[in-house]
Amino acid sequence: MTQSEVAIRLGITQQTLSALERNAKKVSADRLLALLSILGVELVMRKANELPPQKTPTGQDW
């Protein structure tokens, strides 16, 4: 997916998306979540001291 295609889906110009990429600190939470959705990325939040779930072996030799 091109930058222009992502920008269209976000409802902004390619130039605006480029500027946001250069200065990511200014991206709103709503826009970030929309971008993650477009890219097919899932955001998982957990407590800072909580360990991620452990994957169980699938029968493959280690």
Element (H or E) spanning 14, and its range? helix 14-22
pLDDT one-digit tens code per residue, 13-46: 999 999 999 998 988 999 999 999 999 999 888 8
Give the predicted TM-score (pTM) of the model. 0.63
28: nearest Cα among 44, 14, 12:
12
Neighbours of 11 (CB within 10 A): 9
What pLDDT score was predicted for residue 51?
78
Sequence-ordered list of residues with C-beta below 8 angstroms from that of 34, at least 6 positions apart, any chain: 10
